[in-house]
């Protein structure tokens, strides 16, 4: 069995308690390649195995302690402090439509162009774009994380356009118990981590086993809990300041501009004639109009006749444009609860062959919360008895006064839109590695892995247009269903003791996503021949990868209804995006090689001159043949000065 560099021979127990603050920041040290004396090493970004390997592409290493010191339950918190990363979808990303996942983006080129590996092997992705969710990796299993910021498609295949994040797991003997608790300076956003890790030798040192069980819980924090985020803001290029942001989908009424069935200008001027400072024409028939608490209307731009209180930012009114303030219900940090297990083992069959296996299991929940549904293009009968008399007179001035008018409203009565996501992840890997007995100095490696991700999403807060209009367009305005005519004109105007209206048009939805990945790979590596400056090395491999994806949408999200005015088809659900069922699969068979040639050594100004080349051909079932290649040159002038560079062609194959 190969020696382990981080073995601890004695039983160890540790209890760690950490504190967290919302304003705290942490910048880990990026380390160069390990200078310890090691017989042979494989560095991320290469399949070649040799002593003192130095990569032509920049590699940084973050050790395990830096992840543990932060107390964060997910590792992207630390990685995003490195300059190679541009923070992407993280624990503070509330609305990226990815189900609360945590992803990383090298050099800002996107999550789909950053390949995440576990011990040099692929991790089952968590969405249709092939991206790995880092929520499933606890810090306690990490030895270090190697980050290569250069195209690595020639070595690892698709997805490695921007580079590779390789999570190396620990080798450990003994018992370790870790725990931590903390909260923000405001007393919320509490975090708890508990981990039990153990490892042992087997069969007089011929084998080893390692396992780690972890539980983590992170409390959510919403934007309304902080003064700096309780009002939605935008950057004003004219003033150079951040200003409160209005929303185009607000608690407004808007006349039916779609069919040009608008009130007359004279009627609008008459309605606002008593407002101090109003000049005829200041408000136009096609403007956006909101409802005041007393049922009267006001123009939002310019603001005319607003009678509410603009100084209450936590009310559903933005003090800049008196439109809906959607910020408070949104998460600043997503809640997360995770249970996970990681295990691996190995056994020396003989002096030249080792078998190994690895298992990853995780169950975790990650929720998202958005402001209540902005229901647009709803229709209401113009003779609704709850309409303010002045507004009813205004509607009567339309060319066709008997038609319903178009209406939009933040459905605050239905509560915020909640997306509750539960993930079940399992991946198993088994393989063999060893020395080729018939070729001196050659090694081989063969493994296969199968992974599965199942995501259950439960949505709350969707609104059915057709159900709402069964109330609003009925001859009795919904009184036969809920006991009184519907009154949507104002904040919380639809609330009632029995919530009949809300229950009638609000919809929950349940979506199911299933992902499967199968990988089989084998490669050999060794010395081709001797050169004056050292051994010429070669690695040759073959890989198969297959991905399957299925998304089963709730029937309510695929339903359509008919616009009562235009007759056109429309998606019936508003709130979360309407979605269709999706199913697909991709596969590829890939062959690759990598070779290193030490050209010169031991000369003046040339301590070492090394050239590395790589090529990969992938036969993809969707797009056919794909070529990736690289050429890299490393020139050590002396012990203190090195020049390195390369040219690579990296490829992002299509996702499902």
Residue pair 551/519 in contact (Cβ under 8 Å)? The answer is no
Run of H or E including 453: strand 443-464
- Percentage, residues of the chain above pLDDT 70: 85
Binned at pLDDT 50, 70 and 90, residue 463 comes out as very high
- Whether residue 240 is predicted with pLDDT greater than 60 in this model: the reply is no
Q: Report d(CA 427, CA 425) in Å as an integer.
A: 7
| Coil/strand/helix, residue 480 | helix
Tell me the per-residue pLDDT of 188-239, one tens digit each, with 9 for 90 and over: 989 999 999 999 999 998 999 999 999 999 999 998 898 888 877 654 555 5
Run of H or E including 481: helix 479-482
CB neighbour list of residue 385: distance below 8 Å, 6 or more residues apart: 477, 485
> Does residue 353 have a cis peptide bond before it, meaning omega lies within 30 degrees of 0?
no
- Smallest Cα–Cα separation from 7: which of 203, 199, 207? 199
DSSP class of residue 371? P
Q: Report d(CA 352, CA 374) in Å as an integer.
A: 66
Angle at 499 between CA 316 and CA 332, to 5 degrees: 35
Residue pair 637/643 in contact (Cβ under 8 Å)? The answer is yes
Pick the range with the lowest mean pLDDT from 9-13, 53-57, 189-193, 616-620.
9-13
Pick the range with the lowest mean pLDDT from 108-112, 228-232, 303-307, 573-577.
228-232
- Whether residue 653 is predicted with pLDDT greater than 90 in this model: the reply is no
617 against 332, higher pLDDT: 617
Q: Is 110 exposed, middle or buried (0-12, 13-18, 19+ CB in 10 A)?
A: middle
- Smallest Cα–Cα separation from 123: which of 514, 616, 547, 418? 547
CA 563 to chain centre: 35
Pick the range with the lowest mean pLDDT from 265-274, 367-376, 428-437, 614-623.
367-376
Pick the range with the lowest mean pLDDT from 91-95, 201-205, 518-522, 604-608.
91-95
Q: Tell me the sheet residues that pair with 596.
A: 537, 612
Q: Report d(CA 267, CA 280) in Å as an integer.
A: 10
Q: Report d(CA 177, CA 284) in Å as an integer.
A: 69
Tell me the per-residue pLDDT of 540-565, one tens digit each, with 9 for 90 and over: 999 999 999 999 999 999 999 999 88
Residue pair 588/620 in contact (Cβ under 8 Å)? The answer is yes
Tell me the per-residue pLDDT of 562-606, one tens digit each, with 9 for 90 and over: 998 888 999 999 999 888 999 999 999 999 999 999 999 999 999
- Smallest Cα–Cα separation from 33: which of 5, 58, 66, 50? 58
Residue pair 622/654 in contact (Cβ under 8 Å)? The answer is yes
Sole residue written with tokens 């933040």: 410
Q: Report d(CA 137, CA 121) in Å as an integer.
A: 14
107 against 8, higher pLDDT: 107
354 against 299, higher pLDDT: 354
- β pairing state of 573-574 and 241-244: unpaired
- Smallest Cα–Cα separation from 377: which of 406, 337, 339, 409? 406
The dihedral built from the CA positions of residue 92, 70, 165 and 109, taken in this order, carries a sign that is positive
pLDDT of residue 252: 38
Binned at pLDDT 50, 70 and 90, residue 88 comes out as confident
pLDDT of residue 49: 64
Q: Tell me the sheet residues that pair with 340.
A: 214, 362
Binned at pLDDT 50, 70 and 90, residue 494 comes out as confident
How big, in percent rounded to 5, are the helix, strand and coil portions of the chain?
A: 10, 45, 45
Q: Report d(CA 622, CA 363) in Å as an integer.
A: 32
Q: Report d(CA 425, CA 451) in Å as an integer.
A: 8
């Amino acid at each position: 069995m190969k020696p382990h560099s981080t073995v601890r021979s004695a039983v160890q127990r540790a209890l760690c308690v950490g504190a967290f603050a919302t304003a705290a920041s942490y910048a880990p040290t990026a380390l160069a390649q390990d200078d310890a004396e090691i017989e042979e090493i494989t560095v991320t970004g290469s399949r070649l195995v040799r002593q003192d390997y130095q990569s032509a592409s920049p590699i940084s290493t973050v050790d395990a302690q830096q992840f543990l010191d932060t107390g964060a339950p997910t590792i992207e918190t630390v990685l995003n402090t490195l300059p190679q990363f541009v923070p992407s979808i993280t624990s503070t990303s509330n609305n990226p439509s990815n189900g609360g996942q945590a992803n990383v983006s090298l050099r800002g080129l996107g999550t789909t162009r950053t390949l995440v590996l576990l011990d040099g092997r692929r991790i089952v992705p968590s969405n249709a774009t092939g991206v790995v969710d880092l929520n499933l990796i606890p810090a306690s299993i990490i030895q270090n994380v190697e980050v290569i910021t250069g195209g690595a498609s020639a070595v690892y295949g698709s997805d490695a356009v921007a580079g590779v994040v390789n999570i190396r797991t620990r080798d450990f003997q003994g018992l370790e118990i870790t725990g931590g608790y903390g909260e923000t300076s405001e007393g919320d956003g509490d975090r708890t981590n508990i981990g039990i890790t153990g490892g042992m030798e087997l069969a007089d040192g011929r084998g080893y086993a390692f396992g780690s069980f972890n539980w983590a819980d992170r409390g959510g924090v919403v934007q309304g809990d902080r003064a700096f985020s309780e009002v939605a803001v935008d950057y004003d290029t004219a003033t150079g300041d951040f200003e409160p942001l209005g929303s185009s989908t607000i608690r407004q009424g808007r006349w039916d501009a779609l069919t040009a069935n608008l009130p007359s200008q004279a009627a609008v001027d008459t309605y606002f004639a008593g407002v101090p400072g109003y000049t005829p024409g200041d408000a136009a028939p096609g403007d956006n109009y909101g409802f005041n608490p007393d049922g009267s209307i006001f123009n939002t731009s310019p603001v005319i006749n607003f009678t509410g209180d603009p100084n209450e930012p936590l009310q559903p009114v933005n003090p800049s444009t008196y439109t809906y303030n959607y910020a408070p219900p949104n998460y600043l940090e997503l809640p997360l609860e995770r249970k996970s297990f990681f295990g691996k083992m190995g056994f020396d069959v003989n002096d030249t062959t080792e078998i190994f296996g690895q298992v990853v299991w995780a169950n975790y929940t990650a929720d998202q919360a958005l402001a209540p549904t902005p229901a647009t293009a709803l229709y209401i009968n113009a003779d609704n008895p709850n309409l303010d008399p002045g507004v009813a007179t205004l509607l009567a001035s339309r060319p066709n006064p008997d038609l319903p008018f178009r209406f939009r409203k933040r459905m605050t009565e239905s509560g915020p839109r909640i997306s509750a996501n539960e993930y079940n992840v399992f991946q198993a890997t088994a393989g063999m590695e060893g020395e080729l007995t018939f070729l001196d100095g050659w090694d081989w490696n063969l493994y296969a892995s199968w992974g599965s991700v199942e995501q259950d999403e439960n949505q709350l807060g969707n609104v059915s247009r057709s159900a709402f209009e069964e109330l609003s367009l009925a001859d009795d305005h919904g009184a036969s269903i809920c006991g009184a005519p519907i009154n949507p004109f104002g904040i919380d105007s639809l609330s009632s003791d029995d919530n009949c209206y809300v229950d009638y048009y609000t919809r929950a939805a349940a979506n199911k996503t299933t992902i499967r990945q199968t990988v089989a790979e084998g490669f050999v590596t060794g010395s081709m021949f001797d050169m004056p400056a050292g051994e010429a090395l070669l690695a040759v491999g073959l890989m198969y990868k297959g991905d399957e994806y299925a998304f089963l949408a709730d029937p309510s999200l695929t339903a359509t209804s008919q616009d009562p005015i235009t007759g056109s088809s429309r998606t019936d659900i508003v709130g979360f995006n309407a979605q269709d069922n999706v199913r697909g699969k991709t596969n590829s068979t890939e062959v690759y090689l990598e070779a290193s040639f030490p050209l010169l050594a031991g000369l003046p100004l040339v301590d070492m001159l090394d050239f590395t080349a790589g090529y990969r051909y992938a036969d993809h079932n969707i797009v056919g043949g794909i070529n990736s290649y690289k050429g890299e040159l490393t020139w050590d002038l002396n012990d203190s000065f090195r020049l390195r560079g390369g040219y690579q062609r990296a490829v992002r194959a299509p996702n499902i």
